[in-house]
C-alpha cells in the first residue's frame, strides 16, 4: 500500500483529496497535517467523511511517507519545503502554483514536472516532484493543446470561462459568500489571470508557437465546476478538427471528445474533462469543462500519483457525475 501524507488539510482541495484517498484501493493515509485543526477528527471539518474514517489531524509530519500532497495556499508550499525535508523516495505533489513555471520549478534539489497527464504523462511517470496544474489552466489547455501540438493554433485565441465559488477557497470573501454570489455573475482578472502563464508555457512547449490566449474569467452562482469556450480561426472543416482531437485523446481515460453539446453537470463530482467542437464559417469553438476541485485539483493529483506508482490511471477516480 502507498503511504500518503497531506499538508494543509482544512481547505476544499484537501477535503476532496481526503475523500479520494480514504476510498483509494492502494493508499493508506498516514497523516493529515493541519496546525489549526491538530487533534480534531478529520470528519468534524470535512463532514461528508463522517463514518468513512477515524483519522485525526496532526501537527506532526512523518518525513518517510511514499507520497506527500501539499494543499497549501499559493506561495506557502515553497516556504514549507524550505523548512521540511522528506525522504529521498518521497513523491511530492504540489497543488499550489509555486512550481508550475520554468525557472520556479526547483526546490530542495527536486525538479517539479508539470502534471497534465494527457500531454506530459511520460515525464510524470518518472517524476519525484509534480506541480499540479491550475483549474482554469487545465480546462483551457485540454481545449487548446491538441491544436497547438498539431501546429494549427493561430496567433490569437479568445477564451471565456466561468467557475464556481469553491475555486476561491474555503475562507469567505466579499465575492464568495452566498448573499453576493446568489443570482449573480461577474468577471474578474480580465486578460491577466495567473493561469495564463502556464497555459502559454505548455502551448510553446508542445507547439513552438507564440499564440496569445485572451482570457476573460467569470464568477458563477454555483458551487463547483468550470465551463470554458475558446474560439479561433480554423481553415479546415469540422471533420478535420475532430480528427485532431480524437487522435490527441484516443488513449486518455478522463478526457473525451463529446459529439453532443455537453453541460457542466456531466463532469461535476468526476475527474472528467469533456471537450466539444463547433464550427461556424471560419471560426472553430472549443468547449471544455471540468470539476475545478477534481480534474482541476485533487482528482488530477491522484491521477498523477497513480501514474508514478504504476497503478491504473483511473484507480480511485471512477466517479460518476449527476445528470440532473
Catalytic residue numbers read 135
Cell 478535420 sits on residue:
240
What is d(CA 309, CA 33) in angstroms, rounded to the nearest whole number? 23
Question: DSSP secondary structure string, 71-94?
Answer: -PPTTHHHHHHHT----TT-EEEE
Q: How far is CA 110 from CA 1, 7, 117, 243, 298, in A?
A: 24, 18, 19, 38, 21
Contact present, 271 and 317 (Cβ < 8 Å):
yes
Place of cell 506557502: 76
Q: Cell numbers 497534465 correspond to what residue?
A: 116
CA–CA distance, 250 with 67 (Å, rounded to integer): 29
Amino acid at each position: 500500500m502507498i503511504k500518503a501524507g497531506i499538508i494543509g488539510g482544512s481547505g476544499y482541495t484537501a477535503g476532496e483529496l481526503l475523500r479520494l484517498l480514504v476510498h483509494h484501493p492502494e493508499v493508506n493515509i498516514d497523516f493529515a497535517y493541519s496546525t489549526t485543526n491538530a487533534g480534531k477528527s478529520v470528519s468534524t471539518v470535512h463532514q461528508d467523511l463522517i463514518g468513512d474514517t477515524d483519522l485525526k489531524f496532526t501537527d506532526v509530519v512523518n518525513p518517510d511517507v511514499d507520497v506527500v500532497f501539499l494543499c497549501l495556499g499559493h506561495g506557502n508550499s515553497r516556504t514549507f519545503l524550505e523548512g521540511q525535508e522528506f525522504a529521498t523516495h518521497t513523491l511530492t505533489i504540489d497543488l499550489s502554483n509555486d512550481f508550475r513555471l520554468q525557472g520556479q520549478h526547483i526546490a530542495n534539489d527536486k525538479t517539479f514536472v508539470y502534471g497534465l497527464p494527457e500531454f506530459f504523462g511520460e515525464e510524470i511517470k518518472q517524476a519525484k516532484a509534480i506541480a499540479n496544474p491550475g483549474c482554469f489552466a487545465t480546462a483551457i489547455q485540454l481545449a487548446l493543446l491538441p491544436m497547438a501540438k498539431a501546429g494549427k493554433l493561430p496567433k490569437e485565441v479568445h477564451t471565456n470561462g466561468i467557475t464556481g465559488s469553491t475555486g476561491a477557497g474555503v475562507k469567505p470573501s466579499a465575492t464568495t459568500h452566498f448573499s453576493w454570489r446568489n443570482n449573480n455573475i461577474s468577471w474578474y482578472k480580465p486578460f491577466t489571470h495567473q493561469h495564463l502563464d502556464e497555459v502559454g508555457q505548455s502551448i510553446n512547449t508542445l507547439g513552438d508557437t507564440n499564440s496569445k490566449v485572451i482570457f476573460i474569467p467569470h464568477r458563477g452562482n454555483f458551487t463547483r465546476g468550470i465551463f470554458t469556450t475558446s474560439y479561433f480561426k480554423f481553415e479546415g472543416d469540422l471533420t478535420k478538427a475532430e480528427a485532431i482531437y480524437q487522435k490527441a485523446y484516443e488513449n486518455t481515460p478522463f478526457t473525451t471528445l463529446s459529439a453532443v453539446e455537453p453541460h457542466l453537470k456531466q463532469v461535476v463530482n468526476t475527474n472528467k474533462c469533456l471537450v466539444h467542437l463547433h464550427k461556424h464559417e471560419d471560426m472553430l469553438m472549443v468547449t471544455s469543462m471540468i470539476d475545478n476541485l477534481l480534474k482541476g485539483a485533487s482528482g488530477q493529483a491522484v491521477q498523477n500519483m497513480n501514474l508514478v506508482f504504476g497503478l491504473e490511471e483511473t484507480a480511485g477516480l471512477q466517479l460518476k457525475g449527476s445528470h440532473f
